[in-house]
Each structure stands twice: as C-alpha cells, then as structure tokens.
Amino acid sequence: MSVKHTTEKALQMLRTLPRVTIGNIRDNPQSKQNSKRGRGQHGGDKHGAGNKGSGQRQNYMRLGYETGNTPFYLRFGYEPYYKGHHLKREYPPISLHQLQKLIDTDRLSARAPIDLTTICNTGLFEIRPDLLHHGVQLTDEGVDDFRAKINIEVQHAPESVIAAIERNGGVIRTAYYDPHSLYAIVNPKKWFEKGVPIPRRMLPPQDAVEYYTDARNRGYLADPDKISQERLVLAQKYGYSLPKIEDDPEYAMLTETKDPRQIFFGLNPGWVINLKDRAIIKAKQ
C-alpha cells in the first residue's frame, strides 16, 4: 500500500467521523474507581457507625461522664484532704519478703551496702521521678522470715521493719533524694553517658525535715548518739537482744554511709564519669 493511498484513507475517515466535542468525550474504561463503598446516605464514609457523637466514634465516654447527669465529683462538696494530692510524693513498696528473695537469688549482695541504685539495677523495680516517685518504702510483709544482715538505705520504713533488720545485726537508714538526683540514681549508666557531672543531693523540703531528722525513723540527718539510744529502746520494746555491731567482722560494711550531699557510694558530687575511657574526672577543690 502506497503512502498516498494511506493518507487519502485517513482523510476520508476524518470527513466521515463527527467532530470532537464535550458531548462525545469519555474516559478510558476503568480509569476512575469509586473509593467509597456505597453504604446508605453517607456513601460508606461513616463505616456503619452513624453520624456524630461519642458513641459513633468507636471510643468510650470520658472518665467521670454520667450521660448528662451531674457527675459525682461535682455532686458533692470539696474536701480539704484532697488539696495538693496530685503533688504528694510517692514511694513504691518493696517488702522484706521480696528483699530476702533478692538476696537468696544473688540479685542483691548482703556483703555490700544496699541503696536505691542497687535496687533499681536488679531490673525488677521501676522508679519514675516523672510520676512523683521519690524512692521506695520497705514494708513489713515477711517480717518473721527475714534473716539477712544488711546495710540498707530506703526512703521510708515503719517501726516493725526497722526492728526486723536491727534484730539480725543489720543497719537501716532513711534518706531523701530530690527529683534531679533521682534521675541519676535510677539509671546511672544513662546519666554517665551524658557526660555531665554527678549532681549534689539537695536537702529535704520543709514538710520532710522532721521525718529525716528523727532518730526513731533512722533518718540520715539525725544525731548518731540518739540513733544508738533508739536502737536500744526498740530492742527492749520488741524483746530481742541488740547485737553489737562493733564486734561484728563486717563492721566496716555495716557502718558505711553517704554524705548528706552524696548520691553514689564512692563518687562525690561534681565528678564526671567517662565509661568509654573508664576514667573519672574529678572537680578541682
């Protein structure tokens, strides 16, 4: 077929076909697909949940909402003992039974002082300063079965727990840590990797000074002579003979304490710990 014949055939086709207008233009087959599934009046965009409202949004009603009624927290008057409850310090519990189990399973060593850092390093307890956690409280669950002789520092302990530890020849101390120091205590590795100095522990706030200066609570700011007297008073009250720590072969470990401004054993505030080079950068005096 010659080129001339092909051209004439194409021109003849154009003469017979109608002109291209809006009326005869259409899309290619299957070039457009409807994304909606055609459900009722909303075209499927409501997914069968209806129109508006918390019940149609696949979630639950907010806490305290009583379907239009006056809620409970508004139905009754304000009580003063709720004042400042969201700012109160929290002390997650750890029992003597748990403590004895940690020692028996070698997660904690009774031959070294136990503090908040060693408790967090077990990986079984989580202290979160962002939730107003200020340490741990030692509870008396398992007080009759506790047999370990330890040197422990906690943030709160009742009288029965103090008697159980001192009956075995141990030493207990209650100490306060401010929130800034707690971030370094609960995760020392993360703090050291920052390359910042070890913070200095702040003194307790006004409402906690009385507790940590009382010898009956074995506060870390109490007079050591008064603590010795209270140890004897507590032994007489609970009917056990107080062991002499001075004659104990582990006297050095049992009497090891921190400075009121210190947060780690053997590390002073202001020092920088370099884990990569295994070096300690000490502050100039």
Among left, alpha and beta (phi > 0; psi -120 to 50; other), residue 266 is: left
- pLDDT tens digits, the chain, 285 residues: what are they? 566 788 888 888 888 888 778 888 888 888 887 766 555 555 666 665 667 776 666 566 778 878 778 888 888 877 788 788 888 999 999 999 999 999 999 999 999 999 999 999 998 999 999 999 999 999 999 999 999 999 999 999 999 999 999 999 999 999 999 999 999 999 999 999 998 999 999 999 999 999 999 999 999 999 999 999 999 999 999 999 999 888 889 999 999 999 999 999 989 999 999 998 889 988 776
Burial of 237-263, coded b for 16+ CB within 10 Å and e otherwise, reads: eeeeeeeebeeeeeeebbeebbeeebb
CA 248 to chain CA centroid, Å, is 38
Q: So what's the architecture of 86-282 in CATH?
A: Ribosomal Protein L15; Chain: K; domain 2 (3.100)
Query: Which DSSP helix (H) or strand (E) runs through 234?
Result: helix 224-238
pTM, entire model: 0.71
**Which sign does the torsion angle of CA 15, 17, 22, 23 carry?**
positive
Residue 193 pLDDT: 92
CA distance linking residue 231 with residue 71, whole number of Å? 52
Instruction: Identify the bridge partners of residue 90 per DSSP, sorted by sequence position.
Output: 133
Tokens 């949940």 -> residue: 49
Residue 140 CA: distances (Å) to CA of 100, 161, 252: 12, 5, 27
CA distance linking residue 121 with residue 81, whole number of Å? 36
Residue 169 burial (C-beta neighbours within 10 Å; 0-12, 13-18, 19+): middle
Nearest to 258 by CA among 246, 269, 247: 269
CB-CB contact of 176 with 156 (8 Å)? no
